[in-house]
Amino acid sequence: MENSSGYKDYVAGLLAGVSTVVVGHPFDTVKVKLQKHNTEANGIKYKSGLHCATRILKTEGVKGLYRGATSSFFGMAFESSLIFGIYSQSKKALQGGNQSDKPQPSVIIPAAAFGGTIISFVLCPSELVKCRMQVQGTDSLVPNSSKYNGPLDCVAKTFKSDGVTGIFRGGFTTLLRESIGNAVFFCTYEHLRYYIHAKLKDSSHDPSNLIDIGVGVVTGGLSGIAFWSVVLPLDVAKTVIQTTQCKSSTRNPFSVLKSIHARAGLKGCYAGFGPTVVRAFPANAAAIVSWELAVKLLGIKRD
């Protein structure tokens, strides 16, 4: 499908990551708030994602929706650069001389899962800082918390209290989420892209840049929804593990999910599903459109 051009794949991925944060971070803040506060033993704090967003805007303004965005920008830009770059390079290596226009799950799944595994080591510390910043705030529905003055202060205090292992808290859960989720994402993306382009070739219309953008929006958006629909329970467990201040609390995602399920049922395991799905489409559509545009501008050959 592609003739990858080394560093260019990583540059294209970086641009995709920046687009993802700009579009998706406010939704992510709502998701994290719901996952933290609506799964605790002392009861539900927010009625819905809209209720949560309204509370944040009322008490903190737009700035509240972008809490933790600094670490997210750096983390997501680097992570996106790696995932798109590693995926493209790994897929090319696995295909070898057997290049095929048709999607090959035997190539896509290991390439995407490998990329997801690698980026989990980058994502874990950046998301720990992001999540700890996001659950703070002045919202009157939750305990007023201002333990951290900023991302660097959060890193410093985490290192001081928990050491190196503290900053990688939730690492195994992040690895599971990213390896499984990216395999789902790229499988969905590659197959959708292939079948849509096949239909366009059969039609009498020549593909234009506008049509390409439309294809990117649809394939990216639906792939993002597929990603989160599969791995959201793991993400809920990760949020709980990373925002818990108790050092002795379990880091086993399955134990955490079992506990959440006992308290809040399946709904608790999918806490934040509304804002996550609402975010998934535009954020991943922006990522794919930006990536494909960068691929064209950088001269990376595609089918």
Domain ranges of the chain: 2-302
Is domain 2-302 classified as CATH 1.50.40.10? yes
pLDDT average, residue stretch 277-294: 92
Distance CA 96, CA 102 (A): 15
Q: DSSP letter string over 134-147? A: HT-B--TTS--B--
255 versus 212: which is more confidently predicted?
A: 255
pLDDT band at 4 (very low <50, low <70, confident <90, very high): very low
Q: Among 33-42, 92-101, 104-113, 131-140, which stretch is predicted with the lowest mean pLDDT?
A: 131-140
Angstrom CA distances, 132 to 47, 164, 178, 240, stand at 22, 16, 20, 10
Residue type, 228: W
SS (H, E, C) 256-277: HHHHHHHHHHHHHHCCCHHHHH
Distance of CA 138 to the CA centre of its chain: 26
pLDDT average, residue stretch 29-34: 85
Angstrom CA distances, 31 to 7, 16, 120, 212, 283, stand at 33, 21, 19, 31, 14
Angstrom CA distances, 218 to 16, 23, 286, stand at 15, 16, 10
Q: Report the candidate in 135, 180, 137, 167 with the shortest Cα–Cα distance to residue 39.
A: 135
Distance CA 130, CA 68 (A): 4
146-194 residue pLDDT tens: 678 888 898 999 899 888 889 999 999 999 999 999 999 999 999 999 9
Angle between helices 171-202 and 253-269 (to 10 degrees): 50
The reported pLDDT for the residue numbered 2 is 45
101 versus 281: which is more confidently predicted?
A: 281
Percent of the chain with pLDDT over 90: 44
